[in-house]
Amino acid sequence: MTPTEAGTLLTMASAFDNRKVDPDAAKAWAVALDGLRFDDCRAALIQHYKTSTDWLMPASLRTLVKRLRRNRVLEYGVLPDPPSHLDPDNAAAYIAWQKATTRAIADGNPPTKPAELPARDPGEIRALLSAATKEIPE
């Protein structure tokens, strides 16, 4: 988080709670929010003020960002299959792929999920099975 980004967040917060925004506050918030993405912090700040009248502090923002990122991963569900070029015996490469994929999902940039197969009518499935078993010689 840069001081400029933190200053933008503080300016947004000030529109809700009339806090004083100055360069020193922006620098302090930048240090306290180090390692967080601006877009996540902005989304968390908006969510905070949609649901709370509490004064927002960096620690609260960190908690909200963590929850936001965790929810993105949970909503995505099961990770897709690893790429075919990944050696199944290379555990380090698999773990690196898994971490990168999970991070992308948490960032809001999930990989495209494969299209789900359409649901079939149980009667159609029974008919297909019946037809298939008639063709098998005994």
What's the average model confidence in pLDDT over 59-77?
Answer: 96
Q: What's the pLDDT score for residue 91?
A: 92
Q: What's the pLDDT score for residue 136?
A: 60
CB 98, CB 79: distance < 8 Å: yes
- What's the farthest any 2 CA atoms get from each other in the chain? 85
Q: What's the pLDDT score for residue 120?
A: 73
Top pLDDT among 38 and 118 is at: 38
Structure tokens at 125: 């499935």
pLDDT in tens, 95-130: 999 999 999 999 999 987 666 666 777 787 777 777
Top pLDDT among 59 and 132 is at: 59
CB 57, CB 17: distance < 8 Å: no
Domains of the chain, by residue range, sit at: 3-76, 81-138
Alpha carbon 61 to its chain centroid, in Å, reads: 16
CB 104, CB 79: distance < 8 Å: no
Q: Tell me: pLDDT of 7 over 80.
A: yes
Other beta carbons less than 10 A from residue 46's beta carbon: 13
Average pLDDT value over all residues in the chain: 90
CB 52, CB 39: distance < 8 Å: no
CB 7, CB 26: distance < 8 Å: yes
Could you tell me the CA-to-CA distances from 62 to 23, 94, 133 in Å, in that order? 21, 29, 60
CB 11, CB 21: distance < 8 Å: yes
Give the number of residues written for the chain.
138
pLDDT in tens, 78-97: 988 888 888 888 999 999 99
Q: Tell me: pLDDT of 138 over 80.
A: no
Top pLDDT among 118 and 69 is at: 69
Q: Give the DSSP per-residue string, 76-114.
A: H-SPPPPPTTS-TT-HHHHHHHHHHHHHHHHTT-PPPPP
Whether this prediction's pTM lies above 0.95 is answered by: no
Q: What's the pLDDT score for residue 5?
A: 97
3-state secondary structure of 87: coil
